[in-house]
Amino acid sequence: MLLPAISATDQEADLVDQFGRHISYLRVSVTEHCNFRCEYCSPEEGTPYFDRDDHLRVEEYDRLIGLFAHLGLRHIRFTGGEPLIYPHLLPLIESAKRHGIGKISVSTNGLLLGRLAQKLLAAGVNNLNVSMDSLQAGTFAAITRGGDLLRVQQGIEEAVQAGIPRIKINVVLLRQHNGAELPALVAYAIGKGVDIRFIETMPLGLAGSAAQDGQYLSAEEARQLIAERYPLEPAEAQADHGPARLFLVPGTQTHVGFITPISDNFCATCNRVRLTAGGRLVYCLGQEAGIDLLPLLRGGQGDGSVAEAVRRGIWQDKPQKHFFVSDPGRSARIFMMRLGG
């Protein structure tokens, strides 16, 4: 395919793709491993072996974070796998802060949050997403294949007490598991004074594809189920709020968001790329297009040429949209915990 030439304005812009989307958000996977095995995300037996030498070292993450900051990064999210099991997470958060990145987020399953919440705040985290798909201990254990709901809830409580500024509960919509408790999950968020977001299940990896079968519940149906108990007022999205459709529960602090990767494609406003723990920069969730940065870093390339490879790669190869609906088999090959959710 013949690409349009990069215009003078685009060349001066930091990171931009051929569809005119500016990339200012990097999701960094710090590990492929996890202490839960959610049925929509993880193989039942856990993640495959991953050689330590193939993993980015702390100083390599730091270098890349600095390089992206130079290329106009405004928002970084540490994710995985489960980022709180990665022993060097706090220094990486400090690195993001040192490099001047304003919005520093962490996505976690919350199991280890109780003892880390204060430290995350002190290191510079100002956005925290905690995944919690059910308020029933048995259902929660079934979804996560053994997860301890009480400890996750204690973790959320610690994060609230610590004063982490923006906390969101993330709920994957699973008709059989949590379709009947969506208003109760909203009540929980209101009680804690935090936000909550409901996400349509994506056919990511074999686990995601299997979970979608029979469990899919659209965000619109979820909104209607919640609206039977709570009025939902459409809310102004803040800048860089991501693709969620937002509502406010009147008389509370709680925003309820719906993320619709399946029923309402939002790729046109995509502003993100992902860095795997193996040093691959992936341009789109659900596709393999990307560039391996590890050989460049370890091959003695200077910052200028690594940055140029990133800029070129995003310009040339960031896909226009995902194929979750039109060609789900393509996304099923992707391994979500490797990609960084």
240 neighbors 74 (Cβ within 8 angstroms): yes
Residue number of the CB atom closest to ligand SAM: 341
Q: Which does 65 bind (CB under 5 to 8 A by kind): ligand SAM, ligand SF4, none?
A: none
From the CB of 122, what's the least distance to ligand SAM, in Å?
Answer: 21
133 neighbors 172 (Cβ within 8 angstroms): yes
From the CB of 148, what's the least distance to ligand SAM, in Å?
Answer: 14
Going by C-alpha positions, the residue among 223, 141, 143 that lies closest to residue 183 is 223
87 versus 231: smaller Cβ distance to ligand SAM = 87
From the CB of 83, what's the least distance to ligand SF4, in Å?
Answer: 9
Q: Which stretch binds ligand SF4 (CB under 6 A): 35-43, 215-223, 231-239, 267-275?
A: 35-43
CA 179 from chain centre, in angstroms, equals 22
Q: Which does 242 bind (CB under 5 to 8 A by kind): ligand SF4, ligand SAM, none?
A: none
In a 10 Å sphere around its CB, with 0-12 CB exposed, 13-18 middle and 19+ buried, how is residue 150 labelled? Answer: exposed
Residues touching ligand SAM: how many (CB under 6 A)? 20
Q: Is 340 in the site for ligand SF4 (CB under 6 A)?
A: no
d(CA 215, CA 208): 10
d(CA 287, CA 307): 22
For residue 290, the cross-strand partners are: 282
**What character string, x for contact with ligand SF4 (CB under 6 A) and - otherwise, covers 63-92?**
-----------------xxx----------
Measured CA to CA in angstroms, residue 15 lies from 62, 97, 138 at distances of 19, 20, 45
Among 208, 279, 290, 313, binds ligand SAM (CB under 6 A): 208
The rounded radius of gyration (Å) of the Cα atoms in the chain is 19
Q: Annotate 91-123 with b (16+ C-beta within 10 A) or e (fewer).
A: ebbebbbebebebbbbbbbbbbbbebbeebbeb
244 versus 337: smaller Cβ distance to ligand SF4 = 337
Looking at residue 341, what DSSP letter applies? -
Q: Which stretch binds ligand SF4 (CB under 6 A): 29-37, 213-221, 273-281, 313-321?
A: 29-37
Q: Is 79 in the site for ligand SAM (CB under 6 A)?
A: yes
Q: Is 41 in the site for ligand SF4 (CB under 6 A)?
A: yes
Q: Which does 42 bind (CB under 5 to 8 A by kind): ligand SAM, ligand SF4, none?
A: ligand SF4
Percent helix / strand / coil, the chain, rounded to 5: 40, 15, 45
Residues that bind ligand SAM (CB under 6 A): 34, 40-41, 79-80, 82, 107-109, 131, 170, 172, 199, 201-202, 204, 208, 211, 336, 341
Binding site for ligand SF4 (CB under 6 A): 34, 36-38, 41-42, 80-82, 109, 131, 337
